[in-house]
Amino acid sequence: MTNRMQAVRAALVTITLLSGGHLAAQSTQSTFDTRWQPWLGCWQPSDAPALIGAKLTTLCVSPINSASAVQVTMLEDSVVTMRDTIDASGVARRVDKQGCTGTETGGWSDDNRRVFLRTNLWR
């Protein structure tokens, strides 16, 4: 897993831990799986370098053409630096990331508050 992918995952964990007021969210509208609703919007950690070891200006979570998936976009100084899809359908999907191929499976936790991802990559 690359440093950038680790940073995105760390940012999502940080959002989970700090969503009680330390992050500013911009609202967005959605008409799909309501479990995604708390995650939708653009987020700016109050202290990005200390949280993930890199400058993170904005992390946006937005709906796509699937009820079970969202797109995560990282922006640094308003420039898109990364896009990733998180699919919580429980179905393995093929992924190709930086020269490695494999599968990724996402699913909701029992309390529907978290999504767990399992990624298997090989060269």
Task: Give 79-107 pLDDT, tens digit per residue.
Answer: 899 999 999 999 999 999 889 999 999 99
Residue predicted with more confidence, 28 or 122: 122
pLDDT given for residue 84 in this prediction:
93
pLDDT given for residue 28 in this prediction:
42
Half-sphere exposure of 44 (CA within 13 A, CB side): 10
pLDDT in tens, 7-62: 555 555 444 433 433 333 334 444 579 999 999 999 887 765 555 555 657 899 99
Residues in the chain: 123
d(CA 12, CA 8): 6
pLDDT given for residue 68 in this prediction:
93
Can you give the residue ranges of every domain in the chain? 3-122
For the beta sheet containing 58-64, the strands, ordered from the edge strand earlier in sequence to the opposite edge, are 24-26, 41-44, 58-64, 66-76, 79-87
pLDDT given for residue 49 in this prediction:
56
Runs of H (alpha helix) within the chain = 3-18, 48-52
